[in-house]
Chain A
């Protein structure tokens, strides 16, 4: 009797077990290691928490497609990523996916520390064409897949600033009335002032390898003069990095700063509704020329075949309209690279300012080269301007040094 009951049951169970899914439909299983590169000075517990939170959200969403995947995130200073990969690739422990700046991805790909990949045009066609072009190599492969855009905007404390200045003239006028303005001497962070002061073409020409002319010199001299003028204002202070600006704004030491959009989340957690976000001010020669940071997903060299499949699937999922829309709507303060996702600028002034910042950055495309410069070059730029503002270097000497730096940048 018992055997009579057991046999059909076993047959059913055996049958169920035997019905295997087709390989294409079978869910992939494994751990995916993600390395996130962030600026050294910005790396702290709060940022790490933010990154882990974002990864957890991504994992939760991605598990709707691949339920057996686990994402393990590691945060590295982006400046050290090259050395880190040199060691890890030799041990076979390189990350499967890297979330880094587009310039970093280019550098890593040049040294073959990451794998270049190909994606079908149906995937790439969804994305911002400029972003795709910047990650495309001469052999047609990609250094990574563009994921998100982080434009530069103006962040201010509404308790002390009613409306963000629309022009540089207004910025100095408001600072004269007591508005505490903070500016960073970091090349990437300060590049937005080149456009309004008419120096963007000069810098662009030098970066493009064109010889210096009197016009080049005159426009860069005008820019330096404005920096000195601003520095002499009682309520304008220059800081070495953007991280210092953020800390000061959160502590109430500053009222207005230029900031990267990704930092809005942190500022909002401290300032709440008192945080104002607006496009950066224009000037006599035109609009601001900020640099929009493009974050890309690159791929490690040691992944197992399953991990590589998972990594590619994750990348495709991350740029899908579904995830990109979710990313924007969850107030992560980044812009999508997927063209099918339109940020709701009418309902959010922050997003409107970010879109405006993105538009401004596209006008001075050549200045993006500054972002790709080495840490040493950016430190040299910063040291040069610091000595200039402390009157340790004459305007002429600073101008010559600056021209030398920009010209070498291109010839690198």
Chain B
């Protein structure tokens, strides 16, 4: 490690050279003075108000001036290229945005594209000051009985990071292919994609440890000791992780499933290592629920074996209407709703004779459990209109109170 630090400290020795100092000063001055310069030039020449115009122009002109003066200009040019590359990322974002949804695009950009660019930029800067291949061979220490070099360690971390962050789309692609060829459900497809990701990351970690050259026996020994310690120390984390894996295999809580949480249908958005994220339609809230909650508590799901839900609305009609007519009207109203499944057929039921009305229930099946509330609303509105057209009364509760005269006072 000290060798690496010495190497990095050694780069500052280049500042002994006047040509290097000039280039560094140019870069610093452009960065510091572009703000005041823009403010001064913008009123007269509006495009000069944008940093995207001023910085590259200044860097380009200054590197040209240095080059024409026979002075080294590579550092200024590198600064210009890196800045233009950073601006170019915006174009990449717009291009990919045509094919990728905004949320995955935002994740892709912040977790993969921009970090990748920064990494390439850092390597380019290191490349002019030092030899990256040479640096890669610097030992950073003896871990688990083997000498770890900077290059192997960096590569191992990079591969694991890329696998963790970048395997989402490929895994989804493979799962989609499996769905097309085998015909699994959407929930199974999402679960399969997640499992492929976990498998890829796990293999990546094993490869990384092997690539770095760790002694496998030492790793096993350390893992054994750690597992006991972790079992006591952060058992909740492990419990949630294992629960998550179990639920994934079991298939009861998978992305896309609809569960009943506190009386509301919620859709599972993701099943993470620690917790599941569910979306509640009612108020557009996201619920983060630890995995072990599903593992130990009863879970009500509408998407276990199929996605259909049987729903019902309650309605009352006056006593003087024939129940058979009312039931037929209710069933006809339900059949007229496009989002109600024709089979199983909607069913009207006479539930009971109430105090002021006969109570009916209309039961029907819908395809998407998350649409229950809106479909119920539509059906009830339809019933109101049908009752109005057929002059069927929905009576108000009526109560007649009689005053009873008590016995004569003695």
Contact = CB atoms under 8 A, between A and B. Distances in A.
A154 to B, nearest CB: 30
Contacts of A307: 16-17
B7 interface: yes
Contacts of B78: 91
Contacts of A70: 10, 13
A292 interface: no
Interface string A139-164: 00000000000000000000000000
A87 B12 CA distance: 19
A92 B17 contact: yes
Contacts of B10: 31, 33, 70, 72
B131 interface: yes
Contact of A92 (B3, B13, B72, B134): B72
Nearest to B74: A91
A400 to B, nearest CB: 40
B4 to A, nearest CB: 12
Contacts of B75: 91-93
Contact of B134 (A30, A74, A306): A74
Interface in A337-394: none
A90 B72 contact: yes
Contacts of A115: none
Interface in B1-29: 3, 7, 10, 12-14, 16-20, 23
Nearest to B13: A31
B134 A89 contact: no
Contacts of A89: 72
Which residue, of B13, B18, B20, B129, has the highest number of chain A Cβ atoms within 10 A? B13
Contacts of A87: 74, 128
B89 interface: no
Interface string A68-102: 00101011100000001001111111000000000
Interface residues of A, number: 27
B292 interface: no
Interface in B213-269: none
Contacts of B17: 92, 302-304, 307
Nearest to A73: B134
B73 interface: yes
Contacts of A31: 10, 12-14, 16
Interface in A77-136: 84, 87-93
Contacts of A74: 130-131, 134
Nearest to A76: B131
Contacts of B137: 44-45, 48-49
Nearest to A33: B13
Nearest to A301: B72
A91 B125 CA distance: 11
A92 B71 CA distance: 8
B19 A92 contact: yes
Nearest to B7: A72
B102 to A, nearest CB: 40
B18 A45 contact: no
Interface in B125-151: 128-131, 133-134, 137, 149
B9 to A, nearest CB: 9
B131 A75 contact: yes
Contacts of A44: 137
A75 B137 CA distance: 10
Nearest to B22: A92
A76 B74 contact: no
A317 to B, nearest CB: 19
A45 B146 CA distance: 14
A91 B128 contact: yes
Nearest to A71: B10
Given A45-B149, A74-B130, 10 more contacts: A31-B13, A48-B137, A72-B10, A87-B74, A92-B20, A92-B71, A92-B74, A93-B74, A93-B129, A307-B16
30 contacts: A31-B10, A31-B14, A33-B14, A43-B133, A45-B137, A45-B149, A49-B137, A70-B10, A72-B13, A74-B130, A75-B131, A76-B131, A84-B131, A87-B74, A88-B128, A91-B20, A91-B23, A91-B72, A91-B74, A91-B75, A92-B17, A92-B19, A92-B23, A92-B74, A92-B75, A93-B20, A93-B128, A303-B17, A304-B17, A306-B16
Interface of B: 3, 7, 10, 12-14, 16-20, 23, 71-75, 77-78, 128-131, 133-134, 137, 149
